[in-house]
Amino acid sequence: MLTRRQFSAGAAAVAAGAVLARASVRPSYARELGAPAKIGAGKLVAVRLVTAERPTALPCFGNHSLPMWSFTDGAWPPVIRLDLGDRLEATIENRLPRPDESTSIHWHGIRLPNDQDGVPYLVQAPVRPGESFRYSFAPPDTGTYFFHTHCNTVEQLGRGLEGILIIDGDTTEPYDADEVLFMRDWQVDRETGEFNPFFTLRGAGRAGTFGPVRSVNGAVNPEIRLPASGDCRLRLINADPTRIMQIGVEDADAAIVAIDGIAVPPFPLSRWSMGPAMRIDLVLRAPQPGRIARLVDHSTPDRVELAHFVGSGVARRNSSFDPAPLRAGRIAEPDLKAATRLNFVFQASEAGQLVATPDDGLGAPLGALCLSSRTFWTINSRAWPDRDHARLPPPLAVLDRGRSYVFALKNDSEFSHPIHIHGHSFKLLGSDKQNRPPHHTDTVLLLPHETAEVAFVADNPGDWMFHCHIIEHQETGMMSYLRVG
Ligand code: C2O
Ligand code: CU
């Protein structure tokens, strides 16, 4: 095993095979991925997103209406749907109710031009109340994505400023249904009908502050009707600011066909950990007419039923389950032999270690220390804790455009961290804790003390955020950016 010192030394070479189990292919189904989708001529899709406070009574709020912040007057969450090749022109108008509540939209996972990436100060001016900004880009990949604001994120996400972005064109044959499951908790007290605090020091120094109300598409354990015995595509999005879910399906066959938007050769779903911002596409063989299957989260001691599926109509298919694969992605293959290796270590700061000590240590030191400094987390010993990103540090690393990189991502802490890169998609090479098939991902879940290796081609110039997607960790230091020159 490598010692911590070796890892921290930037130049230390990590022998991949020695430490990490290579990502390997599991027994899977018969069919191979389709040819990559062709980028069409495309049309222009214009949308208007008005960030504002809208009292909303989502079904999961009980009988209460809460002052949600959202993008549209219509149903929550909003959905933007494009065909590959289309250009999205999204105009955001900021009508949030506080004079200093700036905003911006980040299109999570989309490999877009840097100035459309929606990070205030880093790539654009924050959109202040009364102002507007027009995003314009043509996503280069198909799949399941989402968007969210990137200012005061713990509160803006907490109050609902997020939506779904789907880019079509990746199927090889039609599925019998295509449903999005937008999974998140709410910091809501169902007795009083009020929001709880979105940020707590205790949560920020640990696994984050969990919302007590679990939901899928704004409802608690909704019933989702699917064509009986059909092969149904389910797009699962972990849209929660905090919770890492461990997803399973009961009483139905299900296969993972895409991860973070990009196709993988279908493999059976047993349990799959999804940190905040991570997505998977499933194909699920829907239950027989009138029968039920369940989507469950095993991350807590009592498994939680997130949604259930009812087979409706006459049975569609009686063949054995062999889900149709999607079309292969269009992401450049990194050159592993020529790649430059860089090490990144994710750790608690000294204050962070103090906050994370057992309860009886939580009294006096916290009050004295943490209110002056909200730096609980670091990347390579550096922290960038800033509620609105206004003070830019230098980049954590400068990458050569077009060069291949292997990143060793080492979690040297007691908590999990879903590590997200903007503007690129990593290829997972291996891990010393989890055995997963090779796949692309824009958000890598690192378990406590896990080291994972990822590779990618730094082919998108600009300044790209590189941060933990547990938003309370991000906002207390586990945030940085990489410059692709
Ligand atoms: Cu979805 Cu910088 O984040
Ligand atoms: Cu984290």
Among 345, 458, 459, 449, which residue's Cα sits nearest to residue 406? 458
The answer to whether the beta carbons of residues 214 and 245 sit under 8 Å apart is no
Query: Which residues pair with residue 407 across a beta bridge?
Result: 342, 454
- Tens digits of per-residue pLDDT, 287-325? 999 999 999 999 999 999 999 999 999 999 999 999 999
C-alpha 155 – ligand 2 centre gap (Å)? 17
Residues with CB under 5 A from ligand 2 (ion): 417, 468, 470, 473
- Give residue 21's pLDDT: 80
> Using 50, 70 and 90 to split pLDDT, how confident is the model at 350?
confident
The answer to whether the beta carbons of residues 384 and 419 sit under 8 Å apart is no
Helix locations, 56-114, DSSP H: none
* CA 347 to mean position of chain CA atoms: 20
Token reading at 150: 């990137």
- Give residue 23's pLDDT: 79
pTM score of the predicted model: 0.93
Count CB-CB contacts under 10 A for residue 300: 12
Residue 427 has pLDDT above 50, yes or no: yes
The continuous run of DSSP H or E covering 366 comes out as: helix 364-370
Tell which atom from ligand 1 comes closest to the C-alpha of 465: 2
Tell which atom from ligand 1 comes closest to the C-alpha of 148: 1
> Using 50, 70 and 90 to split pLDDT, how confident is the model at 24?
confident
C-alpha 106 – ligand 1 centre gap (Å)? 6
Stretch among 117-131, 134-148, 376-390 having the lowest mean pLDDT: 376-390
Tell which atom from ligand 1 comes closest to the C-alpha of 474: 2
> Ligand 1 atom 2: the closest Cα is on which residue?
465
Indicate the SS3 state at residue 324. Answer: coil
* 416 vs 31: which has the higher pLDDT: 416
Rg of the Cα atoms in the chain: 22
- Give residue 418's pLDDT: 98
> Ligand 1 atom 3: the closest Cα is on which residue?
108
- The stretch 111-123 carries a mean pLDDT of 97
C-alpha 244 – ligand 2 centre gap (Å)? 11
Query: Which residues pair with residue 307 across a beta bridge?
Result: 295
C-alpha 89 – ligand 2 centre gap (Å)? 32
Q: Computed from CA positions of residues 148, 150, 153, 159, in that sequence, does the dihedral angle turn out positive or negative?
A: negative
Token reading at 29: 């189904």
Residue 369 has pLDDT above 80, yes or no: no
Among 464, 454, 394, 389, which residue's Cα sits nearest to residue 424? 464
Count CB-CB contacts under 10 A for residue 339: 16
- Give residue 164's pLDDT: 98
- Tens digits of per-residue pLDDT, 255-282? 999 999 999 999 999 999 999 999 999 9
> Ligand 1 atom 1: the closest Cα is on which residue?
108
C-alpha 413 – ligand 1 centre gap (Å)? 21
Residue 434 has pLDDT above 70, yes or no: yes
Token reading at 38: 């062709």
- Give residue 355's pLDDT: 78
DSSP state for residue 31 in the 8-state scheme? P
